[in-house]
Structure 1
Amino acid sequence: MSRVALITGGTSGIGFSVAEALSKSGNWQINIIGNNEAKGQNAAATLLNTSFYKANVSEYEELAIVFETVFKKAERLDFVFANAGIPEYTDIFANQPSSGVPPKPGLDLLGINLNGSIYTSYLAVNYFRRSPESAKGNQSLLLTASIGGLYPCMLSPVYSSSKHALIGFVRSIGDRLFKEGIRVNTICPGVVKTPLLNDQLLSYFPADVLIPIEAVTEVAMKTVLEDSIKDSRGVLVTAEELHSQAIHITGKGFYFIDQPPINDEEAQTTWDCMMGWR
C-alpha cells in the first residue's frame, strides 16, 4: 500500500521540490496544498500520484476540510510537511507621522507562517493517530523554519519571530509525540531562491550564499526516510534521537543545532517540570 503525504505550500519552491522527490521515489500518494487553483493544478499534473487541494493554511476550517478529504480517500497519513510561509515586506522600523496614532503594522504573515504551521501540525497529529497500525511508528511531521529562527534577523524581525516560534514549538511537542511513534523535526535553511523572494530581498545577499532547493530537499527527505542521520560535522543523530531536532541547512552542508544549555540545577528542575518529566 502506498504511503500518504500532505504538503502545505506544495505548489512551488521547497514544498514542490519535496513533492517531486517523493513522486520519483515511488510508493507515495502525494497531496499538495496551495491557494492558487491554476498553479496548483498545473503543479500536480507534472507529478505522478499527486493531487492538489486549494486552501488558505491560516484558515483552520479550510485546512481541516482538506485533511478530512485526504484521509477519507486514503485511510491513512504517513508524512505531513508544514511548509507554507511568506516573507516579510512590512518595514517595522519605518518612520511614522510625528503626531497621532501610528498605522497598524502588517502582521498577516503570522497567520500563515505561525498559525498555519500550528494548525497543520495539530491536524497532522490527529490524523496520524487515526491511521491504521501498519502506519504507526513511522510517521513524520516536518516544519519549515529558517536560519532566521536560529539567529536574529534585523532585515525581517517579524518573519524571524515566527520562525523562532516554530523551532520552540517543535522542541516542545517532539518528545511526547515521539513516544507515540510520530517523528517531529524542523529544517532551518538559509536563503533559498524561490518564487516567494523578490529581487529586492535577494539583493541583500551575495549570490554565493544562496542555497539550491535540491540541498534543502535532500535533508527534508532524510528526516522522512532515514532511521539515523549524520550531519556535515559528523554528528550522528540516532533513530531514538531523531525528533525535536532543528537542522540548519547552508550551501556547504547541514547541521543539528542544540538548544541553549541549562545553566544550573534550578533551571534543570524547572525545565524538567515544564516538560512533564518530574
Structure 2
Amino acid sequence: MAKVALITGGTSGIGLAVAEDLSHTDSWQVNIIGSNQERGEEAAASLSNVTFYQADVRNYQQLAAVFDQIFNATGRIDFVFANAGRADYVDFFAECETGIPPDPGSEIVDINVNGALYTSYLAMHYFRRSPESTKGRRNLILTSSIGGLYPCMLTPVYSSTKHALIGYTRSVGERLWEEGVRVNALCPGVVETPLFAVEAFTSVFPREILIPMDVVTGVVSQLLSGADMVDDKGMRVAGDEIHSRAVHISGTSFFFIEKPEIHDDQSRTIWAAMMGHK
C-alpha cells in the first residue's frame, strides 16, 4: 500500500518540488494543500499520484477538514510537511512622523507560526490513528530557514517566526519520537522560490548563492528514509536519533545544527525539568 504524504504550501516552491520528487516513485500518494485553487489544480494535474486540496493554513477548521478527508480516504498518514510560509517585505524600522503608528499586521505570524502549529497538531492526531506498523517511520518536517538559526535584520518578523519553528521542533521532537514520529526542522539558505522573486531580495542576495532545489529535496528524501545521515562537517547521526534536529542546507551541503550549549549545572537542572527528565 502506498504511503500517504500531506504537504502544506504544496502548490509552489519547496513544497511542490518535494511533491514532485515523491510522485516519481510508486510508493507515495501525495496530497498538496494551498489557498490558490487554480495554481493547486494546475500543479496536481502536472504530476502523478498527487491530489490538491484547497485550505488556508490559518483557518484551523479548513485545515482539519482536509486532514480528516485524506485520512478517511486512505486510513493512514505517513509524512506531513508543514511547509506553508510567507516572507515579509515591509520596512519594520520605518519611522512614523506623527500620531499612532499603523498596525504592523500579524499575517506572517499567522501563516508561518500558527499555520505550522495547526498542521503539526493535526499531524499528531492522525499519526496516532494510523496503522501501528507505521510507527518509527512517521515523519513531520517543518520548513524553517537560515533566518531561524541566525538573526535577520532585513526581515526581523520573518526571522522570529522561523526561530519559533526550531524551538517548537526541539521541544516536541523527543516526546513524539516515543510515539514513532520523527520531527525535524529544515533550515535552507536562499532557494529560488516565489519568495525570492521580489526585488527587495534579489537586490541583496547574489544569484550564485542560490541553493539548487534538488539539494533540498535530496535532504528531505534522506530524512524520510530513516537511515543514518552524515553531514558535511562529518557529523554522523544514527537513524533512531534523527529527530528534534535543525538541518541547515547551504549550497550543495547540509549541516546538523546543535542546540545552544548549556554552561552551568543550574541551567542543566532547569532544562532537564523543562523536558520532563528525572
TM-score range relative to shorter protein: over 0.9
Distance in 2, matches of 1:4 and 1:24, equals: 14
Distance in 1, matches of 2:209 and 2:18, equals: 21
Distance in 1, matches of 2:271 and 2:28, equals: 39
Decide which moves more: 212-221 or 13-22. Answer: 212-221
Q: 1:134 Cα deviation (Å)?
A: 2.3
Distance in 1, matches of 2:65 and 2:161, equals: 25
Task: Give the alignment's TM-score, normalised by structure 1.
Answer: 0.98
Unpaired stretches in structure 1, ≥5 consecutive residues: none
Q: 1:32 Cα deviation (Å)?
A: 0.1
For residue 218 of structure 1, what is the aligned residue in structure 2?
Answer: 218
For residue 149 of structure 1, what is the aligned residue in structure 2?
Answer: 148
For residue 7 of structure 2, what is the aligned residue in structure 1?
Answer: 7
- The correspondence of residues 20-35 of structure 1 with structure 2, limited to 5 A, is 20-35=20-35
For residue 124 of structure 2, what is the aligned residue in structure 1?
Answer: 125
Residue identity over aligned pairs, in percent, reads: 55
Residues 207-251 of structure 1: CA deviation (Å, up to 9, x unaligned): 111111111111111111232111111111102210000000001
Query: Residue type of the partner of 2:159?
Result: S
* SS of aligned partner of 1:41: helix
Q: 1:111 Cα deviation (Å)?
A: 0.5
Unpaired stretches in structure 2, ≥5 consecutive residues: none
- The correspondence of residues 77-88 of structure 1 with structure 2, limited to 5 A, is 77-88=77-88
Query: Is the CA contact (8 Å cut-off) linking 2:212 and 2:252 kept in structure 1?
Result: no
Distance in 1, matches of 2:113 and 2:62, equals: 16
For residue 158 of structure 1, what is the aligned residue in structure 2?
Answer: 157
Q: Tell me whether 1:253 sits opposite 2:253 in the alignment.
A: yes
Over the aligned positions, Cα root-mean-square deviation in angstroms equals 0.9
- The correspondence of residues 167-178 of structure 1 with structure 2, limited to 5 A, is 167-178=166-177
Query: Residue type of the partner of 1:217?
Result: T
Task: Give the alignment's TM-score, normalised by structure 2.
Answer: 0.98
Distance in 2, matches of 1:178 and 1:226, equals: 12
* SS of aligned partner of 1:224: helix
- The correspondence of residues 224-243 of structure 1 with structure 2, limited to 5 A, is 224-243=224-243
Distance in 1, matches of 2:252 and 2:45, equals: 33
The number of aligned residues is 277
Query: Is the CA contact (8 Å cut-off) linking 1:36 and 1:54 kept in structure 2?
Result: yes
Distance in 1, matches of 2:76 and 2:124, equals: 12
Query: Is the CA contact (8 Å cut-off) linking 1:107 and 1:158 kept in structure 2?
Result: no
For residue 189 of structure 1, what is the aligned residue in structure 2?
Answer: 188
For residue 134 of structure 1, what is the aligned residue in structure 2?
Answer: 133
Distance in 2, matches of 1:222 and 1:244, equals: 15
Query: Is the CA contact (8 Å cut-off) linking 2:148 and 2:161 kept in structure 1?
Result: yes
Q: 1:25 Cα deviation (Å)?
A: 2.2
For residue 67 of structure 1, what is the aligned residue in structure 2?
Answer: 67
Query: Residue type of the partner of 1:169?
Result: Y
Q: 1:200 Cα deviation (Å)?
A: 2.6
Q: 1:87 Cα deviation (Å)?
A: 0.7
Runs of 4 or more, structure 1, over 4 Å off, are none
* SS of aligned partner of 2:140: strand
Distance in 2, matches of 1:261 and 1:112, equals: 30
Query: Is the CA contact (8 Å cut-off) linking 2:137 and 2:226 kept in structure 1?
Result: no
